[in-house]
């Protein structure tokens, strides 16, 4: 049986097709949609964003038909769950493709992210999973018994990008206002005892891996450990980069070229709030959690 998962992220839509019986991934692709652009901080989806989403879902649906997929799970996250007019897009998609989009809560999203990451990492000791989205960012503390702390914060990079005006490259004042916002929104979360291992879940962390190693993030089922020192140096370089430099960098996909410094600031800030001494990057996240649940 072939099953597809479509992750309707705030910035990127992901499609994953797999054979459930063999657990073999047959096909995957992603498309920058910017669903939250122009409306996420107002609690709406712009008409242009809905058109981009519909066109991408139409293309994904055609791919599913080509692969003879029997079951499609479409999952909506931050931008959709916060948009007062999300039903317009849901009904349009339902009418055109017979596809029901399930909008999940932040805590459900965190649980599914864990479900994906655990396919790639043995939790021999507790770890803090971090998933950077366009609308929200999830943190999940887990050990070999499963998650024991889960939280979703509306601090996604698309929200930040649209909330403030930024210089190019980012000024020290720009960095400070982002860090102040992060401390206000989720600083209390980091006052508790948290694991010393960080696992970055897919997405922006794949880009960080490629920038760190100057090569593609190879498709595998194993979370890869990276040097914390080298990782922080890379984050600093991303934060200091210009838009022109990021545009010319082949290791940053188009949808992340504008917002990569914000993801880097957020990750560096998290490291400063914790006692993390080991960092892993997992190729799996929410869509794999849905697939294997």
**Residue 52 sits in the same domain as residue 180:** no
User: For position 23, which CATH number holds?
Assistant: 3.30.420.40
**Claim to verify: residue 155 and residue 243 sit in the same structural domain:** yes
Q: 12-42, pLDDT tens digit by residue?
A: 999 999 999 998 999 999 999 999 999 999 9
Shared-domain flag, residues 93 and 164 = no
- CATH number of residue 205's parent domain: 3.30.420.150
The 10s digit of each residue's pLDDT in 221-261 is: 899 999 999 999 999 999 999 999 999 999 999 999 999 99
Q: Could you say which of 53, 87, 103 is where a domain stops?
A: 103
* Residue 106: pLDDT over 90: yes
Element (H, E) at 204: helix 204-213
The answer to whether residue 161 scores a pLDDT higher than 80 is yes
In terms of domains, do 69 and 211 share one? no
Q: Identify the sign of the CA torsion 23, 142, 196, 212.
A: positive
Q: Alpha carbon 189 to chain centroid distance?
A: 20
Domain end marker among 79, 103, 127: 103
Domain count across the chain: 2
pLDDT of residue 292: 86
Are residues 92 and 33 part of one domain? yes
Is residue 53 located within the same domain as residue 115?
Answer: no
Q: What is the pLDDT of residue 23?
A: 86
60 in the same domain as 201? no
Residue 273 and residue 212 in one domain:
yes
Q: Per-residue pLDDT tens for 191-217?
A: 999 999 999 999 999 999 999 999 998
Q: Domain check: are 69 and 140 in the same one? A: no
pLDDT per position as a tens digit, 41-80: 999 999 999 999 999 999 999 999 999 999 999 999 999 9
Which of 55, 85, 103 lies at the terminal end of a domain, its last residue? Answer: 103
Torsion of CA 101, 105, 111, 114, to 10 degrees: 70
The predicted structure's pLDDT at residue 204 = 96
> Which helix (DSSP H) or strand (DSSP E) does residue 201 occupy?
strand 197-201
Tell me the mean pLDDT in the region 140-158.
96
Show the domain range for 132. Answer: 107-292
């Amino acid at each position: 049986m072939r099953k597809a998962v479509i992750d309707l992220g705030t910035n990127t839509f992901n499609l994953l097709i797999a054979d459930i019986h063999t657990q073999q991934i047959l096909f995957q692709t992603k498309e920058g949609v910017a669903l939250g652009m122009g409306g996420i901080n107002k609690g709406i989806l712009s008409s242009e964003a809905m058109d981009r989403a519909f066109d991408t879902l139409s293309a994904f649906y055609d791919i599913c038909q080509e692969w003879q997929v029997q079951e499609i799970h479409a999952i909506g996250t931050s931008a959709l769950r916060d948009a007062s007019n999300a039903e317009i897009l849901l009904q349009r998609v339902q009418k055109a493709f017979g596809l029901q989009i399930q909008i999940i809560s932040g805590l459900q999203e965190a649980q599914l992210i864990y479900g994906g990451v655990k396919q790639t990492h043995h939790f021999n000791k507790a770890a803090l999973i971090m998933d950077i989205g366009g609308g929200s960012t999830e943190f999940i503390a887990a050990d070999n018994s499963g998650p024991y702390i889960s939280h979703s914060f509306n601090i996604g990079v698309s929200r930040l990008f649209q909330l403030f005006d930024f210089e190019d490259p980012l000024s020290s004042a720009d960095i400070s206002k982002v860090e102040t916002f992060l401390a206000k929104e989720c600083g209390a979360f980091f006052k508790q005892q948290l694991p010393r291992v960080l696992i970055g879940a897919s997405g922006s962390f794949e880009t960080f891996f490629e920038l760190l190693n100057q090569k593609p993030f190879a498709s595998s089922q194993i979370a890869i450990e990276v040097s914390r020192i080298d990782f922080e140096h890379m984050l600093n370089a991303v934060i200091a980069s210009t838009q022109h430099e990021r545009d010319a960098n082949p290791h940053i996909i188009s949808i992340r070229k504008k917002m990569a410094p914000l993801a880097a600031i957020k990750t560096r800030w998290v490291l400063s709030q914790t006692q993390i001494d080991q960092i892993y990057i997992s190729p799996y996240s929410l869509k794999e959690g849905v697939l294997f649940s």
